[in-house]
Copies of this chain bind each other. A is one copy, B any other.
């Protein structure tokens, strides 16, 4: 798919890290990858990913559409550069000087701080969820930076390298999935159905066909449900799942403490 530089690195990765040598001769360049990507992100933040067209982007930069192709092989490459931009990653929260709960609690706080950072990123740049990732996306600056911060957060757990990376992958996958869910369900409130709509749905979501879902639907627990106005969206579900992951981690940690080989105690 993507082109490759002389060193064998994908072109888009080299561009993102700034190791892609720019041509030296010829007229001065009117733009740079940085300005192009920054403007594209600005448009996506403000008007959504669909608003990021080559024409609109070029116009916003004061050039013609075709000039962009001097910097970017195609639109996919532009999207990948947006996805990998280091500027997307929030500054890590400064750890508060609050009384520590001991080493057994610290990693939970650090892990939660990291997931909060991820959520902040998705909240500020929801279009990230719309960009199709690819094999090279994990090599982009934003990904590596996030992994670095994640590894930092869980460094106190004493896991192996492979386990550390697995955990980072698992947790970031979980958070991104929930960010997507939160985005998808936005405006769910407008779906406050009247009795007619509920009856129409009830005629087809029947206990015979859907024995487990139907009762939940009829009780109102499925849509709308117990409306928690305090909690925005699926906040409580998010916490529930993250708690499960953390408790699972704690259980595993307790079972096989640092430095010990896994015991058969279970």
Contacts and interface: CB of A to CB of B under 8 A. Distances in A.
Interface stretch (A25-33, A39-47, A52-60, A237-245): A237-245
Nearest to A187: B135
Contacts of A240: 163, 166-167, 170, 265
Contact of A10 (B174, B177, B191, B225): B191
Given A7-B196, A135-B188, A239-B265, A151 B244 contact: no
A190 interface: yes
- What secondary structure prevails in chain A residues at the interface with B? helix
A161 B221 CA distance: 7
Q: Oligomeric state, in number of copies? A: 2
A249 interface: yes
A145 interface: yes
B138 A241 contact: no
Interface in A137-162: 137-139, 144-145, 147-149, 151-152, 155, 161-162
A197 interface: yes
A148 B197 contact: no
A236 B152 CA distance: 22
Contact of A170 (B134, B139, B244): B244
Contacts of A103: none
Contact of A203 (B19, B149, B165, B188): B19
Given A244-B244, A247-B251, A265-B243, A173 B166 contact: no
Contact of A133 (B184, B237, B265): B184
Contacts of A223: 138-139
B184 A152 contact: no
A73 interface: no
A13 to B, nearest CB: 8
Given A135-B188, A144-B210, A173-B174, 15 more contacts: A19-B203, A135-B186, A144-B205, A147-B222, A151-B216, A152-B211, A152-B212, A155-B212, A162-B225, A167-B240, A176-B177, A239-B266, A241-B245, A244-B245, A251-B251
